[in-house]
């Protein structure tokens, strides 16, 4: 059985992630190349997205988790309406 959203959020908190929230994006949304001064985690709940870094391409679907390290330049394309958990860790 998969974890609940609340269990996932608690796990992220236990790992030191803060500013945890659920975010939604519509199909076709694009986030241009950018970076953050903190580690950013995404836990996919619904939909599909592509996140590209300079070296890799990640195709995220429900159940997938991706941690983008602080300072990593990346972009994102939303392929299907998405819902995901976000969190940050300094």
- CATH number of the domain encompassing residue 60: 2.60.120.10
Per-residue pLDDT reduced to its tens digit, 25-50: 999 999 999 999 999 999 999 999 99
Q: Tell me the per-residue pLDDT of 61-70, one tens digit each, with 9 for 90 and over.
A: 999 999 999 9
Cα distance between residue 72 and residue 21, in whole Å = 21
The range of the structural domain enclosing residue 66 comes to 5-89
Please state whether the predicted TM-score (pTM) of the whole model is above 0.75: yes
Say if residues 78 and 26 touch (Cβ distance below 8 Å).
yes
Joined together, the tokens standing for residue 47 give 């939909």
Structural domains counted in the chain: 1
Contact 46, 22 (CB under 8 A): no
């Amino acid at each position: 059985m998969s974890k609940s959203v609340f269990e996932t959020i608690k796990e992220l908190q236990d790992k030191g992630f803060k500013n945890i929230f659920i975010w939604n994006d519509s199909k076709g949304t694009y986030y241009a190349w950018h970076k953050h001064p903190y580690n950013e985690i995404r836990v996919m709940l619904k939909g599909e997205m592509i996140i590209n870094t300079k070296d890799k391409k990640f195709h995220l679907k429900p159940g997938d988790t991706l941690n983008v390290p602080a300072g990593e330049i990346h972009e994102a394309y939303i392929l299907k309406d998405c819902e995901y958990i976000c969190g940050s860790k300094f």
